[in-house]
């Protein structure tokens, strides 16, 4: 984005700059209510926004063909940024001018404090400590433990299969991933009883701020639905996490778990805020690693059910590569079709569906002037469905990610893990954990799915289906679950 000075240097006269600023609003695609209905604008846009906000934004961007769109939401008028060039500019090229600030980040900060999920020196210091922990080498060192934990958890799923029970797959996956994360990343420092409290509390906290996400203009002091649930959940989270942090600060040990690593890295910071900073990063990592993975894999089962040819190919691959026993981590590189299935699943249903930013200075995005303080909404869900960049964008087709297809794409036409300096730390972890889980399930069971269609994306901290997805696990002949 250009600053005003740069825009002038490029021949955009100040008054023309202002004219264009005015023009943007009238040129913006027509989602504004009629000008006469002055009392209606908010209600008119709020209703579709409340009903199905994610698809409302995707439809808006599609009609605008990737142009920057100004949304008129009454007191709040963010820009919807969907063109890959613009996404790249905001997340990478000019990222310092687009911090993670503004109303959308307040609920995150209420839950995760001044952590890796913020901006500025606090983010920098957390990223410096945490980044080395998430390299592919570090993740490889956790793989065996991860495989064993997942195998134990899936063995417990056999009781559901034997009883022919329909399970809420989002809930069950949430439990499985949470236990895996706690065991592997937190070095089993959280007791089973505390883990049982932490997972639901985090789930409540992460979904209870949806109304604040949808109405970010509402001031903090205005009570909103979900506020009380959020507060109670945050108290439970602190109740579990703070004693661990205190213990780790007294004796960080030499383990390679995140709690020990954070405590060691902040050993010399004896200011009272160090305890809070460790707590904030732990909560951030726990949330980023458990919610996202479980929610992502919830979308998989209806997709496989609706695409039997994809399911059959995936089952074949698992049968050939893994067989029916526990998953040996050395098999993972050979699950190539599964990787394409995951990539396509994350294209259609990226859990990190919204990546909001704030413009610090005035500038241009494409040919649209943006004023300082404006909110920019970037959404992988929206960009991943632009017809200009994806053929048959709403169709599930893992072949798009076959090796020979990858190079042809704009880097920012596909960004389920974000991009630029805030690029997700957990990509490697996801691509180890998710195949271990799915291969583990398919080596034992054939899932049947019960869920309404179409599923509506529900915009919490991670994008999950609004409807419950139920799965019944039929044992595979000759498998451990039979
Ligand atoms: C399907 C799984 C996942 C998806 C779709 C996902 C998506 C994202 C996205 C879009 C961002 C960028 C946020 C921004 O730019 O504001 C992000 C950042 C982040 N993710 Fe993930 N994530 C996933 C799994 C994980 C896992 C397993 C971890 C475990 C550590 C993790 C940790 C993080 C962290 C710490 C950040 C913040 C990085 C920073 O700002 O420096 N994520 N993730």
Look at residue 476 and give its three-state secondary structure: coil
The DSSP-derived string for 91-158 is IIITGGGS-S-STTHHHHHHHH-SSTTS-HHHHHHHHHHHGGGGSHHHHHHHHHHHHHHHHHHHHHHH
* Better-predicted residue by pLDDT, 243 or 74: 243
Q: Are 355 and 101 in contact (CB under 8 A)?
A: no
pLDDT grade, residue 24 (50/70/90)?
very low
pLDDT confidence tier of residue 46, bands split at 50, 70 and 90: low
Q: Is 113 in the pocket of ligand 1 (CB under 6 A)?
A: no
Pocket of ligand 1 contains residue 347 by CB under 6 Å: no
Q: Identify the residue with better confidence: 239 or 44.
A: 239
Pocket flag, ligand 1, residue 293 (CB < 6 Å): yes
Do residues 52 and 43 make contact, with C-beta atoms less than 8 angstroms apart? Answer: no
Per-residue pLDDT at 44: 53
What percent of the chain clears pLDDT 70, i.e. is strictly above it?
Answer: 87
Question: What's the gap between Cα 194 and its chain centre?
Answer: 25
Indicate whether residue 462 lines ligand 1 (CB < 6 A).
no
125 lines ligand 1 (CB under 6 A): no
Q: Which atom of ligand 1 is nearest to the CA of 134?
A: 30
Distance from the alpha carbon of residue 141 to the mean position of ligand 1, in angstroms = 20
Between 324 and 33, residue with greater pLDDT: 324
The verdict on the CB of residue 425 being under 6 Å from ligand 1 is: yes
Nearest atom, ligand 1, residue 420 CA: 15
More confident residue, 429 or 195: 429
So what's the pLDDT on residue 30? 40
Confidence of residue 408 (pLDDT cuts 50, 70, 90): confident
| 182, 186, 352, 416: residue to mutate for ligand 1 pocket, most atoms within 8 A of CB | 352
CA of 51 to the centre of ligand 1 (A): 26
Judge if the beta carbon of residue 352 lies within 6 A of ligand 1: yes
- Which of 207-211, 286-290, 419-423 is most confident? 419-423
CA of residue 425 to ligand 1 center, whole Å: 6
Q: Does the beta carbon of 428 lie inside 6 Å of ligand 1? A: no
Mean pLDDT of all residues in 360-372:
94
Does 120-352+417-482 carry CATH code 3.40.50.300? no
Give the ranges where 322-420 is alpha helix by DSSP (H): 336-348, 380-383
Pocket test for ligand 1, best of 100, 116, 426, 460 (most atoms within 8 A of CB): 426
Give 57 Cα–ligand 1 centroid separation in angstroms: 22
Expressed in angstroms and rounded, the spacing between residue 284 Cα and the centre of ligand 1 is 10
| pLDDT attached to residue 378 | 98
CA 424 to centroid of ligand 1, rounded, Å? 4
Residue 224 pLDDT exceeds 90: no
DSSP three-state, residue 70 = strand
Three-state helix/strand/coil letters over 219-257: CCCCCCCCHHHHHHHHHHHHHHHHHHHHHHHHCCCCCCC
pLDDT score of 460: 78
422 lines ligand 1 (CB under 6 A): yes
Q: Which atom of ligand 1 is nearest to the CA of 127?
A: 41
pLDDT the model gives residue 479: 65
The values of phi and psi at residue 471, to 5°, are -135, 140
Element holding 459 (H helix, E strand): strand 457-459
Backbone angles phi, psi at 17, to 5 degrees: -60, -45
Given a contact cutoff of 8 angstroms between Cβ atoms, the answer to whether 367 and 355 are in contact is: no
Where do the structural domains in the chain lie, given as residue ranges? 1-93+354-415, 120-352+417-482
By most ligand atoms within 8 Å of CB, the mutation choice from 81, 118, 424 for ligand 1 is 424
Question: Which atom from ligand 1 is nearest to the alpha carbon of 418?
Answer: 10
- Shortest CA distance to 304 belongs to which of 334, 327, 338? 338
Cα 432 to Cα 42, 333, 405: the distances in Å are: 44, 9, 23
Cβ of 419 below 6 Å from ligand 1: no
Q: What is the mean pLDDT of residues 210-233?
A: 76
The segment with the largest mean pLDDT, out of 135-144, 434-443, 454-463, is: 434-443
Q: What is the DSSP string of 30-47?
A: S-SPPTT-TTSHHHHHHH
Mean pLDDT of the residues in the chain: 86
Does ligand 1 come within 6 angstroms of the Cβ of 118? no
CB distance 482 to ligand 1 below 6 Å: no
pLDDT digits (tens, 9 = 90+) for 260-298: 999 999 988 877 788 999 999 999 999 899 889 999 999
Best-predicted range by mean pLDDT among 147-151, 183-187, 262-266? 147-151
pLDDT tens for residues 167-176? 999 999 999 9
Distance 165 CA to ligand 1 centre (A): 33
Q: How far is the CA of 351 from the centre of ligand 1 (A)?
A: 10
Question: What is residue 48's predicted lDDT score, i.e. its pLDDT?
Answer: 72
Q: Which atom of ligand 1 is nearest to the CA of 290?
A: 27
Helices (H) and strands (E) in the chain, counts: 18, 11
Quick one: average pLDDT of 355-383? 96
Q: Specify the pLDDT at position 42.
A: 54
* Token duo for residue 438: 């799915």
Q: Rounded to the nearest whole angstrom, what is the distance from the C-alpha of residue 33 to the centroid of ligand 1?
A: 36
Does any ligand 1 atom lie closer than 6 A to the CB of residue 154?
Answer: no
């Amino acid at each position: 984005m250009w600053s005003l000075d740069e825009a002038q240097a490029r021949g955009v006269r100040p008054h023309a700059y202002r004219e264009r600023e005015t023009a943007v609003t009238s040129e913006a695609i027509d989602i504004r209510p009629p000008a006469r209905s002055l009392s209606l604008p908010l209600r008119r846009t709020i209703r579709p926004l409340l009903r199905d906000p994610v698809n409302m934004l995707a439809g808006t961007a599609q009609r605008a063909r990737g142009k920057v769109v100004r949304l008129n939401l009454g007191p709040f008028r963010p820009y919807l940024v969907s063109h890959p060039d613009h996404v790249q500019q905001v997340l990478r090229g000019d990222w310092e001018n687009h911090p993670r600030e503004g109303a959308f980040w307040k609920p995150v900060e209420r839950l995760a404090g001044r952590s890796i999920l913020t901006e500025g020196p606090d983010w920098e210091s957390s990223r410096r400590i945490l980044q080395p922990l998430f390299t592919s080498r570090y993740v490889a060192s956790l793989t065996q433990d991860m495989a064993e934990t997942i195998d134990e958890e899936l063995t417990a799923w056999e009781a559901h299969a034997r009883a022919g029970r329909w399970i809420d797959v989002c809930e069950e996956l949430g439990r499985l991933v949470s236990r895996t994360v706690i065991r592997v990343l937190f070095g089993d420092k959280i007791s089973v009883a505390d883990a049982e409290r932490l997972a639901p509390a985090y789930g409540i906290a992460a979904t209870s701020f949806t109304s604040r996400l949808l109405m970010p203009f509402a001031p903090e002091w205005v009570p909103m639905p979900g506020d009380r649930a959020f507060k109670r959940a945050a108290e439970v989270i602190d109740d579990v996490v703070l004693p661990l942090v205190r213990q780790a600060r007294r004796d960080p040990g030499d383990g390679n778990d995140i709690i020990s690593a954070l405590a060691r890295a902040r050993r010399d910071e004896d200011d009272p805020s160090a305890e809070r900073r460790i707590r904030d990063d732990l909560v951030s990592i726990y949330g980023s690693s458990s919610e996202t993975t479980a929610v992502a894999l919830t979308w998989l089962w209806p997709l496989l059910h609706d695409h039997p040819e994809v399911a059959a190919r995936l089952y074949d691959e698992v049968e050939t590569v893994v067989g029916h026993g526990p998953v040996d981590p050395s098999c993972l590189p050979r699950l190539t079709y599964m990787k394409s299935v995951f990539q396509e699943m994350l294209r259609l249903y990226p859990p990190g569906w919204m990546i909001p930013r704030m413009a610090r200075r005035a500038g241009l995005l494409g040919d649209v002037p943006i004023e300082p303080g404006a909110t920019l909404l970037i959404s992988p869900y929206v960009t991943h469905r632009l017809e200009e960049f994806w053929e048959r964008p709403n169709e599930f087709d893992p072949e798009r990610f076959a090796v020979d297809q990858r190079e042809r794409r704009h880097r920012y036409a596909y960004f389920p893990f974000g991009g630029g300096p805030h690029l997700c730390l957990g990509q490697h972890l996801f691509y180890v954990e998710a195949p271990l889980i799915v291969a583990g399930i398919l080596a034992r069971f054939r899932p049947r799915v019960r869920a309404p269609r179409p599923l509506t994306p529900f915009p919490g901290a991670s994008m999950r289906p609004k409807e419950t997805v139920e799965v019944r696990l039929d044992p595979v002949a000759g498998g451990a679950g039979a």
